[in-house]
Amino acid sequence: MSSITTKLDKQLEEFTAEVRADPLLKGGFSAVGLSQGNLVLRAYIERVNDPPVHQFISVCGPNNGVGTCPDNLAFKSVCPLWRLAKYSAPISFADYWKDAANEQQYLDKSRFLADLNNERQTKNATYARNMASLTKLVLVEALNDTMVIPHESESFGFWQWGQSAHGRHKLVVPMRETEGYKGDWIGLKSLDTSGRLKHHVYVGDHLRFTNDFWEQTVLPYLGE
């Protein structure tokens, strides 16, 4: 529950302290994130990156936000609180909530994700520079994900702005068609066009990949 009840800025502080306290990581390291942990890792890369991350493997990360409360008992226990203040509730989930029906409200009220994705008018060049310094960015997406909705968020896609959260069959804008990619706001285009961005999918639910997928698809990157 602490990962849910602790805001992501605080989790970033704790993670940074742990990394800097480990002498084995002083020369840099490869980072593998699972689910929400990917936002902490990416915040570290964009805002801190000292010691630097060389490779970043994001497994089922809500990289472009989530548009509905996850289908999970722990999250559902705090959703009544979250619904009272979707962008400001004192839980981590509010940090990456994105209501596709109202883009301006998201940009005005998002306390974490809008900044991390460099979506506001004033861009932070350090964010893009740090991400573009990665030797590899690997995005793993679960096609039947019931936690990160839409699942395309795991590869930096999302629903098209202006669509109701309650609508069915909403149009998804894939990563390469987003304004963030086209403008290279966090270095995704730079990584992609240089061959350093890799995207893998598996048919299954959130983090429910097989041992074969892990060993044949993910571990070879770490073996490098």
The residue assigned the tokens 């008992």 is 73
Six-digit token pair at 180? Answer: 């963030």
* Annotated catalytic residue, options 58, 110, 151, 206: 206
Q: Is 206 a catalytic residue?
A: yes
Rounded to whole angstroms, the Cα distance separating 224 from 221 reads 5
Which distant-in-sequence residues (6+ apart) come within 8 Å of 131 by Cβ? 42, 45, 46, 137, 186, 187, 188, 191
* Annotated catalytic residue, options 95, 99, 145, 184: 145
Six-digit token pair at 8? Answer: 């992501």
Phi, psi of 155 (to 5 degrees): -115, 30
Q: Is 145 a catalytic residue?
A: yes
Say if residues 144 and 204 touch (Cβ distance below 8 Å).
yes
* Bridge partners (DSSP) listed for residue 199: 139
Q: Is residue 150 reached through a cis peptide bond, with omega within 30 degrees of 0 on the bond before it?
A: yes
SS (H, E, C) 67-92: CCCCCCHHHHHHHHHHCCCCCCCCCH
* Annotated catalytic residue, options 35, 92, 110, 153: 35
Say if residues 132 and 190 touch (Cβ distance below 8 Å).
yes
Rounded to whole angstroms, the Cα distance separating 81 from 78 reads 5
Instruction: Give the active site residues.
Output: 35, 145, 206
